[in-house]
A and B are shown apart, each in its own frame.
Chain A
Amino acid sequence: MPRGPSVIARILKHAPAADVPQTPGDRAPDRQPAAGAPLPADVRRRFNGELHNRTVLGWSPFDLDAHNRFARQFVVLTHDALLVLEENAPPSQLLLCEIEEVKLVEGLGVNRLRVLIDGKIAADLRHTNRHRREMTRLHRKVHRRLSGAPAAEQVPEATAHEDEQEPVCPLCGQFIPDDAEGVCPQCVQKRRVLGRLLDFVRPYRRQVCLAIALTFAASAMTVLPPIFTGRLIDDAVGRFSFARLGLWAACLVVAVSVNEIFSAARLRVLSAIGSQVTRDLRHRIYSHLHELSLRYFAKRRTGSLITRVTTDTDRLWEFIVFGSVDFFGNGVMIALTTIAMLVLNWRLALIALVPLPVVAALSFHCGMKMQRLWGRLWAHWARLTAVVGDVVPGVKVVKAFASERREVERFDTHSGQYADREIAVHRIWAGFGPSISAAMRLGAVGVWVLGGAMVIAHHGAAPHTLGMLVTFTSFVWQFYGPVLELANSNRMITRAATSAQRVFEVLDTPPEIRSRPNAITKARLEGRIEMRNVAFSYEGAAPALRDVSLHVEPGEMIGLCGPSGAGKSTFVNLLLRFYDVTDGQVLLDGVDIRDYDVKWLRREVGIVLQEPHLFHGSVADNIRYARPDADEDQVITAARAANAHDFIVGFPDGYDTLVGERGQSLSGGERQRISIARAILHDPRLLILDEATSSVDTETEKQIRQALDRLIAGRTTIAIAHRLSTLAAADRLVVLDKGRVVETGQHADLVGRKNGVYARLHRTQMETYGLPICDLRFAIEGREAG
């Protein structure tokens, strides 16, 4: 088995392509080693000596050498050792019996799997974020082996479940990388962007056929007037006949009118199609946006998404209505005019066509350039929109800091940049138009000169008449008009293509969180929660939860606390399935949460947020949000239970009071209680309270607490709070710290633990809020007594 440079070269050659391999054969082994996939064949071959007679329990690629340069390497776990397979060095092995500890050290782009022997760093396997998942899995496996776990546990149940989930592209059968949001990079974009618009046009094919017929007719009509003009000169003027003058003039009037009637009809049909198609598109984008997971929104600016739904679809309308006409209609006109000219006089026709290649080359060249520039221009425009979209909702903050001027300056900077780009774009544009028209006009002059010479040489004898020359020069203009428009439509087409691409980008992103094909729904959720070794990390970030395990019985109230950043909100996000776990399982009533129907699941789980979001509409609409069919009685009952009824009725318009955008016209406590009423009406089996009583005064807090007690009764509840007093009613407290469950138990028990996280939090809050401990005790006893 050679271990020479050729093999190394092969490995190296494949190295950068790890995520987007060229052929299926290279593909599968590089992803998902923990799934029990075999080592890549070339690696196995190369290190055959070391791997001989050894079972590979796990492996991971890693990609940085000791000097932080890219290098393809592998680490392999066997029964007795960790093998480090490097390209440029003989493989080294670390015996498991000698290894003291393996640690994952996260850095800024450089992560290490650190192996310690006798307190010394025996190996520091450096890897970028690309291989963090694999290395984390391997680390866990090594860790389990070192801590003496039985071999059977090498493939834990949780991992098995996850492996089954590995997405495979239905078209090419290859694995889809986790970060591709489910879009197979191999298969996407095989069809031309604008061609895809046809899919949306298809339902209107009858109107489209009509529009095409009208376009064709209108174009054909334009060939007639020059011929009639020629006849008018030769037949009427040449013979000094008034009758014939009237005849040909009438023919001209008819031809022109019919042409315009056809054009008007065509425009009418096309604009209707355009409006319908873009309406369908807008609907598809907007409804698709709602299907997409939170992860998608977390990464994009609202402004850029708004532009896609509004401006981009508008540009597509423009393209369908005007662009398609320019394209098709002008094409037909050019073809017909060319034929007419060739039939009339092929020599003159060739002269007239001389500038054509110049025009074509010019427009092609400029088109490429323009495409780039338009893309950049759009990026600036999106940034500009984003600034407005960012600042307007935060206008309170702007005013509070008296930073209006700074905001205006920030806007001006972007606005100025946009203007600069726009000027640059139009500068090229401005040069382009005149050069084309100069080429055309020179062509026309050529026709006059040569045509004139022919008429003179033949003394005006047929077919070389004056009328023919006039007809011909008209044709030349009629020929170059569409050519120029075609070149101009380049701009519209490139704009439309950029817009279409962005629109389809949204449509091509499949929702990450989806119900699986045979998703389960249940008549009634009991509310038993179980978290099994749950780990989760947001994209490219350090793990937010690591190895969390927890049982919650139906009807139990869990108080979730811990310092900020401990993973409390992540915990809730997983429970609502806003995100899927990275590792481990979340079970509801003993069933994996991913096996349930997503919509059903979210209906069964209610949430009261720290910053409740109220939509524009009446108070009643907002309470009804979860159950639009609820009648007034139910709304009032819910509001009463939420201690909201009294203040709502106190408004002049009662339940019909408009809450204003984001509920700005209500106080924090009022918004809070409206959202509790919403949750009560929603009647979920599983309730999540996110810091529901923060930032309100004591009296309001009491009111809210009371409302919450009614809401909580009989439901499994997970309550998050920074203020520990909020959690006094909890059956059990779960304390998170740095993504782990560090303590669980009753308040009295936890607060007594020296050096406990909870005790520390509690002490700090005593100092801050000065809340006496007996108050908490009272609250607990009060709940137990009730």
Chain B
Amino acid sequence: MNEVFNLTSDDEGRLVLGRPGHADEVDVRIRRCFPWSRPDHHLSIRDADGRELLLIASLESLPPDQRRAIRRWLADTSFIPRITSVDSIDTRLGHQQWKVQTDRGPAEFRVQEREDIRPLPDQRFRIKDADGNVYELPGLEELDADSREAVEPVI
């Protein structure tokens, strides 16, 4: 699918989709179809009501400025702190209390279920806390020894 379109961001930071024969669509949203396994493929461009306007097969196929606009928008709207080190994991009945350092600052959160820590195919882990926020934990060998020791019993 190679529809002609143009994605730009306006000075308010909103994405604007322009297509020949259509009025400009202001404030479009992007959803990744495979956020973890293929983040740069199959991006669904939707209007504010969630209707799909366009499906981008691959970011690579876009001109660099559009790619940048999309990446900027995605970085701006998605919040998935990457855990850089784990200070402590306090396992109590029914949940774990994680104290971590992330690339967005220190954080403390609660993990309710073992099932909320999902191993990804590439050794990383995706952790969902009790509030529904998502954190990314790098593969074990990328962590320092203390963090690894804290993390090992729970994954």
B-contacting residues of A (Cβ < 8 Å)? 16-17, 19-20, 64, 68-71, 107-110, 120-121, 128-130, 132, 177, 179-181, 183, 185, 188-189, 193, 299-301, 304, 371-372, 375-376, 379, 382, 501, 504-505, 508-509, 539-541, 738
Contacts and interface: CB of A to CB of B under 8 A. Distances in A.
A562 to B, nearest CB: 14
A539 B129 CA distance: 11
A509 B104 contact: no
A108 B78 contact: yes
B22 interface: no
A760 B120 CA distance: 41
B32 to A, nearest CB: 8
B153 A371 contact: yes
Contacts of A19: 108-110, 130
A738 B51 CA distance: 12
B43 to A, nearest CB: 12
Best-buried of B50, B114, B152 by chain A (most CB within 10 Å): B114
A17 B108 CA distance: 7
B134 interface: yes
B122 interface: no
B51 to A, nearest CB: 11
A130 B131 contact: yes
B65 interface: no
B106 A110 contact: no
Nearest to A540: B132
B92 A188 contact: yes
A372 B105 contact: no
Nearest to B104: A69
Contacts of A177: 130
Q: Which 4 A-B pairs have the closest CB atoms?
A: A540-B132, A109-B79, A16-B108, A179-B130
Nearest to A183: B94
B93 interface: yes
- Interface class of chain A by DSSP: mixed
Contact of A70 (B75, B104, B130): B104
Interface in B93-143: 93-95, 97, 99, 102, 104-110, 112-116, 128, 130-134
Contact of B131 (A183, A193, A540): A540
Contacts of A68: 75-76, 79, 104
Contacts, number: 115
Contacts of B102: 70
B155 A379 contact: yes
Contacts of A121: 12-13
A501 B153 contact: no
B155 A376 contact: yes
A109 B153 contact: no
Given A19-B130, A128-B131, A504-B93, 19 more contacts: A16-B108, A64-B79, A70-B105, A107-B79, A108-B77, A110-B77, A110-B78, A110-B79, A121-B13, A129-B132, A179-B130, A183-B93, A189-B93, A376-B152, A376-B153, A379-B114, A508-B94, A541-B132, A738-B50
B150 to A, nearest CB: 10
A189 B92 contact: yes
Nearest to B105: A70
Contact of B128 (A376, A505, A540): A540
B54 interface: no
A501 B109 CA distance: 21
B107 A16 contact: yes
A229 B54 CA distance: 91
11 contacts: A16-B99, A70-B104, A70-B105, A71-B105, A108-B31, A109-B80, A129-B132, A188-B94, A189-B92, A300-B115, A376-B152
Interface in B23-46: 31, 35
Contacts of B116: 299
Contacts of B108: 16-17, 19-20
B74 to A, nearest CB: 8
A299 B112 contact: yes
A70 B153 contact: no
Contacts of B105: 69-71
B97 A70 contact: no
Contacts of B109: 19
A41 to B, nearest CB: 22
Contact of B110 (A20, A69, A193): A20
Contact of A20 (B78, B97, B113, B115): B97
A107 B112 contact: no
B154 interface: yes
Given A299-B115, A376-B155, A188 B93 contact: yes
B95 A185 contact: yes
Contacts of A70: 81, 102, 104-107
A87 to B, nearest CB: 12
Nearest to B29: A107
Contacts of A541: 132
Contact of A304 (B77, B92, B115): B115
A110 B114 CA distance: 24
A18 to B, nearest CB: 8
A537 to B, nearest CB: 10
Interface string B53-80: 0000000000000000000000111111
B110 A372 contact: no
Contacts of B92: 185, 188-189
A494 B112 CA distance: 22
Interface in B1-23: 12-13
Nearest to B116: A299
B152 A110 contact: no
Nearest to A299: B113
Contacts of B131: 128-130, 132, 179, 540
Contacts of A376: 152-153, 155
Contacts of A300: 113, 115
A179 to B, nearest CB: 4
A542 to B, nearest CB: 10
B12 A107 contact: no
B52 to A, nearest CB: 14
